[in-house]
Amino acid sequence: MSIIDVKNLSKRFEFYRKQAGLFGTIKSLFYRKKSYKDAVDNISFKIEEGEIVGFLGPNGAGKTTTLKMLSGILYPSAGQVSVLGYNPQKRQKDFKKKFGIVMGQKDQLARLITPMDNFTLFKAFSEISDEDFKSIIEELTKLLGIEDVLDVQVKKLSLGQRMKCELVASLLHGPKVLFLDEPTIGLDVVAQKNVRDFIKKYNHLKKTTIILTSHYMDDIKELCDRVIIINFGKIIYDGKLAHLISTYATDKIIRITSIEPIRREDLERFGVIEDYQGIRASIRVGRESVKRIASEIISSDLMIDDILIDEMPIDDIIRVIFLETNGDSK
């Protein structure tokens, strides 16, 4: 039996349009034109116990709306959802105790009190015993390395520390399913890696089923074997990450930093210039030739100070898939 089973799920929002200005405002008192937006359009998928699945797509694709329906925050317009055998729409108490959700752009912790005071409140809400609470706090704070910030006001913490505390709050009750919506957004590279390492370790220890949305390719590469890509509310890819990269991510990005400004013309021989800022530049090159070209750049007479090789941005990969699938449908 699948932990998460989604069948023909849809969510349609309705809204009203009005003309600009005073006349448009007065007119809207008597007549408003109703419009509709299909945020999620007839999607189906299954997720098994212990999987970490990347749920990807550009802004406005329907990712967060889907997570909100899976967690019971939003009601579907059509379709069926089963999470751990529960219907999220019913918002049953037992169901709420079995999932956790972290939204990177929305805080659930009260900022004027300390993390420990917040955790104590969550303990009461989740009806966790004193003994279990103590052992859980010790385990999670040690894994995340935040033992020394538990008595500091949340508003005084760094973004990375706050995100780690958000994770603790969502995991206090030992959820079987965890929804992570952009958990590393805005974090520096060190904090991102710390959060990723924790998620990986926690999944290994607890076998928690995780759905992860992120715009950072490193998050997806390090955590997910499988990805689901959604665009305009429809699933356009569901499969192995390795197949996605080998099939659609045909290029890589070489990012260079130089000691002194380099002329753009001197870089164009290496590949397509994606970004140019004098002493910094990003060059798109074919995957099969990236090592050779990186070596040529290093051994050239350019004053290179640093060089980094990255995967294509997720949005670019999605664009390639969308163009291909859109072309196939014609």
- DSSP collapsed to 3 states, the chain: CCCEEEEEEEEEEEEEECCCHHHHHHHHCCCCEEEEEEEEEEEEEEECCCCEEEEECCCCCCHHHHHHHHCCCCCCCEEEEEECCECHHHCCHHHHCCEEEEECCCCCCCCCCCHHHHHHHHHHHHCCCHHHHHHHHHHHHHHHCCHHHCCCCHHHCCHHHHHHHHHHHHHCCCCCEEEEECCCCCCCHHHHHHHHHHHHHHHHHHCCEEEEECCCHHHHHHHCCEEEEEECCEEEEEEEHHHHHHHHCCEEEEEEEECCCCCHHHHCCCCEEEEECCCEEEEEEEHHHHHHHHHHHHHCCCCEEEEEEEECCHHHHHHHHHHHHHHHCC
Instruction: Note whether 237 and 192 are same-domain residues.
Output: yes
For residue 330, is pLDDT > 50?
Answer: no
For residue 24, is pLDDT > 90?
Answer: no
Q: How far apart are CA 276 and CA 256, in angstroms?
A: 10
Domain membership flag for residue 329: no
Q: At which of 215, 246, 277 does a domain end?
A: 246
- Work out the pLDDT band at 79, boundaries 50, 70, 90: very high
Instruction: Note whether 165 and 297 are same-domain residues.
Output: no
Task: For residues 311-327, give the mean pLDDT.
Answer: 74
Instruction: Note whether 285 and 210 are same-domain residues.
Output: no
Domain membership flag for residue 140: yes
CATH number reported for the structural domain that contains residue 166 in this entry? 3.40.50.300
Task: For residues 184-202, give the mean pLDDT.
Answer: 86
- Work out the pLDDT band at 151, boundaries 50, 70, 90: very high
Total tally of structural domains belonging to the chain: 2
Contacts 24+ apart (CB under 8 A), 295-299: 296/270, 297/254, 297/256, 297/270
Task: For residues 1-7, give the mean pLDDT.
Answer: 90
Task: For residues 238-247, give the mean pLDDT.
Answer: 88
CB 226 within 8 A of CB 241: yes
Q: How far apart are CA 287 and CA 246, in angstroms?
A: 9
Give residue-wise pLDDT tens across range 263-275. 999 999 999 998 9
**pLDDT score, position 329:** 41
Q: What is the mean pLDDT of the chain?
A: 88
**pLDDT score, position 10:** 96
Instruction: Note whether 260 and 143 are same-domain residues.
Output: no
- Structure tokens belonging to residue 137: 């706090």
Instruction: Note whether 221 and 264 are same-domain residues.
Output: no
Instruction: Note whether 138 and 76 are same-domain residues.
Output: yes
CATH number reported for the structural domain that contains residue 256 in this entry? 3.30.70
Instruction: Note whether 221 and 93 are same-domain residues.
Output: yes
Instruction: Note whether 23 and 152 are same-domain residues.
Output: yes
Domain membership flag for residue 234: yes
For residue 22, is pLDDT > 90?
Answer: no
**pLDDT score, position 1:** 67
Task: For residues 151-167, give the mean pLDDT.
Answer: 91
Domain membership flag for residue 210: yes
- Higher model confidence: residue 311 or residue 283? 283
CB 151 within 8 A of CB 143: no
Instruction: Note whether 168 and 255 are same-domain residues.
Output: no
- Structure tokens belonging to residue 104: 């990177």
Domain membership flag for residue 328: no
CB 311 within 8 A of CB 248: no
- Higher model confidence: residue 299 or residue 186? 299
Domain membership flag for residue 125: yes
Instruction: Note whether 230 and 155 are same-domain residues.
Output: yes
Task: For residues 47-63, give the mean pLDDT.
Answer: 91
Domain membership flag for residue 179: yes
Instruction: Note whether 125 and 265 are same-domain residues.
Output: no
- Higher model confidence: residue 20 or residue 256? 256
Task: For residues 215-226, give the mean pLDDT.
Answer: 87
Percent of the chain scoring above 90 in pLDDT: 52
**pLDDT score, position 99:** 93
Rounded to two decimals, what is the model's pTM?
0.80
Q: At which of 231, 246, 261 does a domain end?
A: 246
Q: At which of 223, 246, 269 does a domain end?
A: 246
**pLDDT score, position 84:** 94
Query: CB neighbours of 79 closer than 8 A, spacing ≥ 6?
Result: 6, 7, 8, 9, 10, 42, 43, 44
Give residue-wise pLDDT tens across range 198-219. 999 999 989 999 999 988 888 8
Domain membership flag for residue 33: yes
CB 3 within 8 A of CB 210: no
**Block residue for tokens 């994606």:** 274
- Give the domain range for residue 200: 4-246
